[in-house]
Amino acid sequence: MKFTPVLFAILLIALVPCAQAQQLGLSRLFYPNGTLSASYIVPTNSATTQNFGLTRTSFLGIVPIQSEVQGSFSLKKKFDLRAVHTVLIGQYSQLQPTLDEKNFPDNGYKTISLGAIRMQASVKDKLWVYGAAIGMTESNETFFTPQPFLWGGAARMRIIGLRSQIVYGSILAYNQKLRVIPVFGINQRLGKQWRATALLPFMADVNYHPTKWFSMDMLAGVNGYSGGFQIQTAEEKILRRQNYQHVKLGLSANLHLLTVFNISAEAGVAGFRQLRTFNSARENLTSTHPPFAPYVGVSVRYLTSRSNFSSKFMGKLGLGEKGVVNW
C-alpha cells in the first residue's frame, strides 16, 4: 500500500484529508498506474472514550500527460536545456466511521480530488517539483455539506550522487483554515537491499527489497479526514462537521507479480488519535481521544505500461534497483 513518488509528489496525497499513509515509491510518477486499496481500524474502547472504528476503500490513478525535452535561449544568449515531466493524479475514497458499533454519520463519507505534479530539470535551474490539487469531502447522505480542500506548492530537489536525493520547499494548504507548511524530504539508499525515504512532517518509510518480486516496508504517517454531515431534528436540519486524525506505524509485505501487478498487505497500530465534532460556526462541540488501535490493509496496483528507458534512467539515479520499479 504505497503512495506517490519523487518525495514531494507524496504531498498531493498526504494533504488530502482522507489520504492513507503508505510506503513511498519513488518511481510511480513515470508509469501510468491505478491502485485499489482498503483498510480497517479496529474499534477500541477505554474508560473515557467510546468505541471508534474506521473502514476505508479508495482508488488512486496516476497518468503521465507530458514528457519532453526543451531547448531555449535567454536574453543573455545563453542556451538552456530543460526536461519536463507532468502527471495528473486523481483519487476517490469511501469512508465509514463507526461509533459504539453504529455508523456515524449514517452512510459515511466520500472524498474526491484531482491534482497535477510537474517536474522540471534544467541546466540553469536544476531540478524543481511543482504541484497543486483540489478536492472535497462530503457525507453520502447529502450534497449540501461539502468540505473543500486545496493545496499548491513547490520544492527544490537535489540529487547527491547515485544513493541520495533531498528535497526542500513549502506548500500553501487550505482545509478549514489556511496554512503554510515547510517540507523536507530525503531518499537514501542504505545498501543493495535497503532504502530509507521520508517526507517530513508527513511520512517516513524504510524499504527492504531482497528480490525483484518481494519487498517489505516499515512505515509511519499522519492520516485523517474532515467531512460534513447533517442532523435531522424536529425543527430543522443542523449542519455538523467531523474531524479525525491519527499517527500510524505499520509493516507491509509486497509481492511484485508479472511486472505489472503489485499486491500489498499491511498491518500496524494507529495512535495519537483525536475525534472532534463542531458546528457551522466552527465552535467545538465534542473532542475525544480514542485509544491506540490495530489496523490492517490491502492494496492491488496495476501499471498499465513500463518503459525500459525510464527504468534504466531511474536506476542510474538510484531511484530504482537494476531497472526494477521501486514500488
Tens digits of residue pLDDT in 44-88: 887 667 788 999 999 999 888 877 776 666 666 666 677 788 889
d(CA 17, CA 88): 19
Strand pairing category for 52-73 and 178-189: unpaired
Residue 208's CB is within 10 A of a number of other CB atoms, namely: 14
Full-model pTM: 0.79
Q: How confident is the model at residue 305 (pLDDT cuts 50, 70, 90)?
A: low
Question: 78 in the Ramachandran plot: left (φ > 0), alpha (ψ -120 to 50) or beta?
Answer: beta
- What is 87-127 written as a DSSP string? EEEEEEEEEEEEETTEESSTT-EEEEEEEEEEEEEETTTEE
Tens digits of residue pLDDT in 112-165: 999 998 888 776 667 888 899 999 888 887 777 788 889 999 988 887 777 888
